Structure 1
Amino acid sequence: MALGAGLGLRDPSPPDEPRFVLAARQMVESGQWLIPHRGSELYAHKPPLFMWLQASAYQVVEDWQIAFLLPSLLAALGTLWLTWDLTRRLWNRRIANHAAFALFATLQFGLQAKRGQIDMVLVFWTTVSLWGLARHLLCGPNRNGLLVGGFAAGLGTVTKGVGFLPLLMLLPWWLDRRMDDATVGNDARVPAVRLWPWLPAAFLAGVAVWLLPMLVTVLGSDNPELHRYASEILFRQTGTRYVESWHHVRPFWYYLQVIATLWLPGALLLPWLAPAWWRRIRRGDRRTLCLVGWVVLVLVFFSVSPGKREVYLFPALPAMCIAAAPLLPGLLRRAGVRYVLLGYVVALGLALAGLGASGLAGAAWAARIAADRSLSEPVMQTLLTWLVVLGGGLLLLAGWARPRRAATAVVGASVLVWTFYGLALAPNLDASSSARKLMHDVRTRIGSDAELGLVAWREQHLLQAQGPVREFGFERDFQAQWRDALAWLAQAPEDRWLFALKDVARDCVDPEQLIELERTSRRDWVLVPGAAHVPGCVPRAATVNPLIRMDEP
């Protein structure tokens, strides 16, 4: 299967993957699962449910290379099934097949299914919630569906704070029920349904899975770190981050760009889909109104916040595919639509083959990427060759399909892309991207018994570090970390080394004795031997707000 291709062939790589695996691994090793840690610090940016899933997967398979991707893979498969089943209940099996294939063929879905990040699991919970709510609101009444929908929204909220978004479907549903009877088609009518108290009770039960024991633990403790943790995750990382985001600030229209790129090839059909949706809504199709209306509400919700990332809009994708599915059989009979879809496959093949060929021919961009990621020439040559092979495969697929089988070509293109990515591209990038090679080289240089201190580190460095390791905090100011690290280094200079960001390792060390390492994560790193420390030197005091880090997610 394309989504599972490459499972177990790579280590966690930025962004986000090493952070979650680090917390999950610490859960397994310490037995403390309630509040996640990042090294010696509490990790207050996300609730722990996703990390619970990774830790649980490890306890089953006992291999982190498999366990860290398993929750995303299973969530992707579950989301495909839920998309198919809800579409079947709203229309029929034939249309359900179109919905599932449309979701699978979308670039963002495959990309997130192959990543060990929270977002694929979040989308699973939001789709479960939509599935349950739609069974009650559009196919019901169905109290069990309502309970499932509310509970899944609660679980989604303690997976990532925006898991409550499916509840926004109540707005277009409420609007539809108040439309004039003359504008509502008889086939779209459903009896009045009762939401109170079942929906809020189910939602609160889902949230309480983590929130209740966390609050009991925090309120029963006089540990100030736990109280700061609760304040950070319940307020700063939710409401404050939404209203006054301090990272990833983008313009209001940013998500139109996301739809136009990551929602390919489906985005190419929007000029046909949008008018058809509007006509159905005007005829009183409650299904289309609730699905498309919910997608629009999600788009507006995230667009209003100044902080934007492409994955934020991802939960709306399954609903978009479900809403498009009843229109796809008719659209795929149009020659213009078939040519557009086939053109997408051809363009993708030409782009990949062209990139690979230009890189093999010595293009400057390839040399820059190789230097920035510390990729050796053989590895870079292998990656570029695979790009040419993949691009050529897509062109052959398009040549076989012709316009008549354009839809098959689109699905086949996704199979090829994610299979090649999992089996060829990601494994070749792994040693550099995951920092495995860097940290192995560090341990080889300093010896198996030496102690290594980490300063201004990234999560992949601690995750891949071998032998005795010490760190001095993650969210602390870099200069504060450096000051404590130097004091630690001075206690046993013969047996201790520091691994540090080059720009931080300046005060109180002899620059001639620093050992420059490979450039990774778009930054330069150095090794500092104990002998490089200048005795009696006092490093500069911290001047930067310790709550703000340049690599905060």
Structure 2
Amino acid sequence: MMGEAARERRQFWWFMLFALLVIGAGIGLRAPWPADEPRFVLVARQMWESGQWLFPHRGSELYSDKPPLYFWLLGASYALVRQWNIAFLLPSLLAALGTLTLTYDFARRSWNHRVGLWAAAAVLFSFQFVYQAKRAQIDPTVVFFITVGVYGIGRHVLLGPNWRWYWLGCFAAGLGVISKGVGFIALLALLPYALMRWRGWNGLSEPAPRGAGKWWLGGASFLLAIALWFVPMLVTALVSGDPEHRAYLNDLLYRQTATRYVSAWHHHAPWWYFIKVILTQWLPFVVFLPWLLGPWRQAWRQRDARVWWPLAWLLLVLLFFSASPGKRDMYILPALPALAWAAASFMPALVQRRGLRWALWVFSMLLGVGLLAVGLAALFGNPGYEARLVAERGLEVGSGALWLWRVLALMGALIVIAGIVCRLRHVLLFTALGVAVTWLGYGFGIAPLLDGESSSRDLMHEAREQAGADTVIGLVNWREQQLLQAVGPVTEFGFKQPEDEQWRRGIAWLQAEPTQRVLLSQDVAMPDCVDRGQIHPLGAANRRSWLLVDAQAVAGCR
């Protein structure tokens, strides 16, 4: 028995080592990229440098779009490694590994070790999960907190009773709220449990958890987690007398929460948008879906809560996010572990079916053929996407672009060769190799090649070289990556200010000391008074053209 337990532990840690390799590949080899990464790292860096941890800033303005927990985690990571290009990806990496561990453990406790590995592999072998885990966005952290919440509730209502896990799950949901606001969706898992308990479903905790006071302590735990930040922030905002603090409070509580959900002002999409996301971005895991419909139907007839409790919660989450007019693909990601829990017990048997094995093999082979074709076409031909990518990404026409196409072709060739060698007999190994090659190639090959342009590092170095070491660069119509990657003295004129107001302030600032100052701006929305014959082009970054404007170019502006 001890030997079996040791074998299972070894298998789990080998899986986690594979996950660490896939997700962690490339950490330290690139700087923050848009969208969101430069903004969040800039906010965290300003918190670290100023010591102001309650009220985040983006440049000179308060940043009220998101609660601050994720910025605190970025600051804590920097405190450990003291290198932002490493620190900014650590919260996502650790959160992803934590999510995989919880996914494995809940399925293991519900069924067995083998099913636990299948559940964790289903999450890891989903494109969207790894893509988000390799980025410094809030979503991997929120997914972890929500997964802790659902896990804790599940340990109580399916595998318990276990009040401590229930309270911890509710507390984690509160941490999700002060990360991005939507952490409370973990508590929706109580609704299908209540209905299933009422209808007498199988697989629920026996005896049924009793005690109204203990149930309500979950709500207190949820509020306690929120209060860790909200109470100090609220007291400071109300006592300080600073109108900016009041404006921050109002914007965060109303515009960025209720208004953003009910009447979103961007990212509009139809109601079925997240269905498309699941079917396309959760590949190759969702290849199993057509074969899962029959087992799920049978589990419904058997009233198996182990299968339908996570599925019911997934449907509630899908309904919640679909009801809002504003949608982004990562919103639905917290439901991925629940789908894995509902599917994993059936996957070992389903993968023996020839049709499913063919589907997995064809998907991975198409991935390899596609990468190989793109790389070879650019190396030996002149497709339109080659010139477009070189222009937009500021790649060197020679070595930079050449290496990019070589990396893509090599990745594709390795996947194709693996498919030919593995064939249907070892299709799971082929799928794992396809995932590994894709993300290792991206982390170690593609991302470093694109980093100079994507992070605006090259742009800001060129701007400093042209402006001079002591010249102050004023940012107009800027993006967070410019301020984050700035070299030497810089200033800005507000991020949320209208472009014409930024130009008005910038021109007045430039004319006040014309020999010691220049402006850096996008080559759009420039005032008519600026002499375009006197500007200094810097090149492309983030699919935009940038330029320096000195005092001679604005001599005609008043």
TM-score by length of 1: 0.94
* 2:56 aligned with 1:30: no
Instruction: Give the alignment of 1:256-275 within 5 angstroms.
Output: 256-275=275-294
**Cα shift at 1:189:** 5.3
Alignment match, 1:211: 230
3-state SS of 2:343 partner: helix
Q: 2:125 aligns with which of 105, 108, 118?
A: 105
Structure 1 window deviating more from structure 2 (381-390 vs 395-404): it is: 395-404
Cα distance in 2 between the residues matched to 1:397 and 1:151? 45
Alignment match, 2:18: none
**Cα shift at 1:362:** 1.4
* 2:247 aligned with 1:231: no
Cα distance in 1 between the residues matched to 2:422 and 2:151? 34
Q: Deviations over 1:508-550 (max 9, x none)?
A: 3222101122122222222101222225x34xxxxxxxxxxxx
Alignment match, 1:157: 177
Indicate if the aligned counterparts of 1:146 and 1:198 stay in contact, CA closer than 8 A.
no
Alignment match, 1:551: none
Alignment match, 2:207: 191
Cα distance in 2 between the residues matched to 1:143 and 1:188? 15
3-state SS of 1:531 partner: coil
* 2:270 aligned with 1:251: yes
Alignment match, 2:324: 305
Q: 1:167 aligns with which of 173, 183, 187?
A: 187
RMSD: 1.2
What one-letter code is carried by the residue in structure 1 that aligns with 2:296? W
Alignment match, 2:113: 93
Give the unaligned 5+ runs of structure 1. Answer: 539-553
Instruction: Give the alignment of 1:28-67 within 5 angstroms.
Output: 28-67=48-87
Alignment match, 1:410: 431
Cα distance in 2 between the residues matched to 1:357 and 1:328? 36
3-state SS of 1:437 partner: helix
Q: Deviations over 1:178-198 (max 9, x none)?
A: 21x4xx33x545322245321
Give the unaligned 5+ runs of structure 2. Answer: 1-20
Alignment match, 2:146: 126
What one-letter code is carried by the residue in structure 1 that aligns with 2:554? H
Alignment match, 1:202: 221
Alignment match, 2:9: none
Cα distance in 2 between the residues matched to 1:209 and 1:13? 30
Percent of aligned pairs sharing the same letter: 47
What one-letter code is carried by the residue in structure 2 that aligns with 1:139? L
Q: Deviations over 1:248-288 (max 9, x none)?
A: 10111111111121100112211111332232022111121
What one-letter code is carried by the residue in structure 1 that aligns with 2:127? L
Cα distance in 2 between the residues matched to 1:246 and 1:262? 24
Q: Deviations over 1:481-506 (max 9, x none)?
A: 11011110011001100001222322
Instruction: Give the alignment of 1:389-538 within 5 angstroms.
Output: 389-534=410-555, 537-538=557-558
Indicate if the aligned counterparts of 2:535 and 2:547 stay in contact, CA closer than 8 A.
yes
* 2:375 aligned with 1:335: no
* 2:302 aligned with 1:286: no
How many residues were matched structurally?
533
Alignment match, 1:365: 385
Indicate if the aligned counterparts of 1:104 and 1:411 stay in contact, CA closer than 8 A.
no
Cα distance in 1 between the residues matched to 2:195 and 2:366? 42
Cα distance in 2 between the residues matched to 1:103 and 1:376? 37
Cα distance in 2 between the residues matched to 1:373 and 1:496? 28
Structure 1 window deviating more from structure 2 (275-284 vs 343-352): it is: 275-284
Cα distance in 2 between the residues matched to 1:199 and 1:359? 57
Cα distance in 2 between the residues matched to 1:123 and 1:409? 28
Cα distance in 1 between the residues matched to 2:367 and 2:328? 24
3-state SS of 2:520 partner: strand
Structure 1 window deviating more from structure 2 (271-280 vs 306-315): it is: 271-280
Indicate if the aligned counterparts of 1:133 and 1:149 stay in contact, CA closer than 8 A.
yes
Q: Deviations over 1:53-89 (max 9, x none)?
A: 1111111101001000011011111111111111111
Alignment match, 2:196: 176
Indicate if the aligned counterparts of 1:22 and 1:459 stay in contact, CA closer than 8 A.
yes
Cα distance in 1 between the residues matched to 2:265 and 2:139? 20
Cα distance in 2 between the residues matched to 1:189 and 1:75? 28
Q: 2:363 aligns with which of 344, 352, 355?
A: 344
**Cα shift at 1:408:** 2.0
Q: Deviations over 1:429-449 (max 9, x none)?
A: 100100000110000001111
3-state SS of 2:152 partner: helix
Indicate if the aligned counterparts of 1:482 and 1:504 stay in contact, CA closer than 8 A.
no
